[in-house]
Every structure is written in C-alpha cells, then in structure tokens.
Amino acid sequence: MIDIRDVFSRSNAFDILPVIPMEVGLLRQMTNEDNDTLSFQFGMKVKLNAAVKSANSDSVLDYYLDMIDPTNELHQSHLSTDNNALATQEDDYFKQRVLHIACLYMLIFNRFDEAESPIIDIYRQHVLPILQSGTDEEKRALFTRIKKQIAGSNKNRAALDDLCELVKEIIRQPKHLYGFQGDPYYVHIGLQAGLLTPNVNTMFKHYQFLSPECRENPKQILRYLTISGDRVEGTAFCKLPVEIAFTSVYFQSDSTQDTFQKFTLQYDIDAIDMVPTFFYPRSNKSANRVIQTRFHSMGIFLPYWSTFQDLQEVDKTLKHIKQFAYEWSLSSTLCMSFHLVRKSLPKFNRKTI
C-alpha cells in the first residue's frame, strides 16, 4: 500500500522534475563578532533537463520516462529476482518511485497540450481506479501510455527548452537589472509558542523544553516555524531577522571532452588562537594524580564539582532547578572567561613555534 499524499508531502517531492532548483547543502558557516551576525552559505544548483550520461539518456525527461516504462531496460534493471527481505524492500521503494514519477509527470505535462482539460478529473476517473484495484497488466499498460503521451508531445519538449533558456537568462542578469542576483531581501523567522511545552515545571525538572508532539515527531517542529515580515505576532515567542542574498559560482567547461570539475572546502583555522583546556572532576583523586604528574605544564586545567553537596539537604522539587542553575552558571562563566582570556592573549606566529 502506497500513500500518494505522503509521497507528495515530502520536501523532495518535486526533485524529479526536469527543470528545478536543488539545494545541495551547507557550504560554510561564518561568525562576525564585530557586528554580531551569523552567516550560513548554502549551495544551490539548477537542473536544466540535461543529458543523463550514466543511463545513456538524452535528457532528464527521457530518463524518468524510461524509468516508468515496464518494457525499458532501465526499469527492469531496478527489479530484483531475489526473495529476501532486502530485495523486497528495494522493490517496494522502486514501485513507489515509479508511481511518484508517473503521477507527477502526468499531472504537469498534460497541461502543455490541453491547458483547459480537467486533468484532475481524468486522474480520478481513469488513473486512480487502476492504481487502486487494477491488475498488474493494467498498471503496466497505464504507465506505458503515460510515457508515450508525454514523450511524443513536441509541445512538452518545446516548453522545457523555453523554460531552460528563461532560467539561464535570469541567472545571467547583472545585479543592476534586479535579476536573480539582485539586492538581498529581508524576512523574519518566527518560533511559535506551541513549540514549547506548556508546563514550566517540566522544563526545569525533566529538561523537556519541546512539546510532547514535537518530541515524538520532530517533523512537527516545521509547523511552528513562520516566515513573515517585520511585524509583531502575539503567538510567537521569538523572531530572528534574516537577510537572504544570491551569488553565482561559475565553472569553465571543456566542450572537446567529458570533464568533471572538482573543488574542495576546508576550514581556515590557522589564524585562530587556541588554548588547550581540560576539565576534570575535583573529587576524582586519580584524575588529580595524573594531571599533577604528567600534564601539569600543559594548557589550562579547570576542576569542577561533579556532585552537588548543597543539594542533598534541599527539597527534591527544587533539586533539579538548582542543578540546572549550577550547570547554566558554570557554562556561562566559562564562556565569558575564555572570551576575556582570548582577548588578552598576545598575537603570535604559529610557524615560529
């Protein structure tokens, strides 16, 4: 049983389209202490219906259409003849992927030929019944028919070509034309109060800050994130100002041969001064002995109380609160102390050490 609603509710539901921007992950994170800002740089690439060389397909459109065609070698190569649990799981995943491609492509590309056709009604009357209760042969015939209808349409390919050229033109526009790389725009990311547990005692006693719904299913946290303008919201307990901007990274291609360009990223920490610091429990005698005999001249050693002697005599209902206050005060004090120590350290050249 495949839930189509669940398939199309995922974040990557439209990644199989021939032309679509795709986020490729976090490239770097920067902190500017002068103006107290935190920057995240993400990579984004645009799929432009290019050829899929690994499958010998002329375009992304042809690649996915071959995947839903039961008579095609690409489709058959994903089907396993084994009967073990792993093979069964892989087959189920592939069947879900075929259904995902067939439904999405049928709903989108049919509109290029007949924009006024009631495509949703056609889907409900002629497609959905076969998917729900049809035989395997009827389903294969349906997928084959969907492929032929899309692949044989010149309007579909012409529309994709026009869309690719339009996207390229937008990306290549200079900033002064307010194109894709125009001025940054500003939004506010808000956290709704429903994200937190309503019981304050639960926060401090059991360290459970999120609501039970969000703890059991982390995806529910997305329901409590909002993106809006600069305005006051009574249901939000926190709002973060965000500046979003786009910049281009261009690569040179060699048309004479197939080349793959590679680049690497690494953290630049040569200019960062580091102070070796070690934490150990004050009551641990073996730790004290090792430090005094072997590491007494290296770095900074900060002993801490691993037990809370003053908490044994207080009421149990207040123990968690005092323990939390101790840990929070210790962490805050250490952060401020290290900040002051780092500021007071003289600058030196690492290569001379």
Q: How far apart are CA 119 and CA 113, in angstroms?
A: 11
Q: 292 lies in which domain range?
A: 277-352
Domain count, the chain: 3
Question: Does 32 share its domain with 161?
Answer: yes
This prediction's pTM: 0.58
| CB atoms near residue 216 (< 10 Å) | 9
pLDDT at 38 over 90: no
- For residue 71, tell me if it sits in a domain: yes
Closest CA to 179 of 171, 167, 188: 171
- 194 Cβ neighbours under 8 A, 6+ residues apart: 211, 223, 224, 235
Higher pLDDT, 178 or 50: 50
3-state secondary structure of 190: strand
The model's confidence at residue 92, banded by pLDDT at 50, 70 and 90, is: confident
Question: Does 151 share its domain with 189?
Answer: no
Question: Does 42 share its domain with 68?
Answer: yes
3-state secondary structure of 343: helix
- For residue 250, tell me if it sits in a domain: no
Question: Does 142 share its domain with 234?
Answer: no
Question: Does 167 share its domain with 192?
Answer: no
3-state secondary structure of 61: helix
The model's confidence at residue 263, banded by pLDDT at 50, 70 and 90, is: low
> How confident is the model over 229-252, as pLDDT tens digits?
878 777 888 888 898 888 776 666
- To 5 degrees, how large is the angle CA 228–CA 229–CA 235? 55
- To 5 degrees, how large is the angle CA 60–CA 65–CA 69? 150
- For residue 265, tell me if it sits in a domain: no
3-state secondary structure of 257: coil
- 291 Cβ neighbours under 8 A, 6+ residues apart: 278, 280, 301
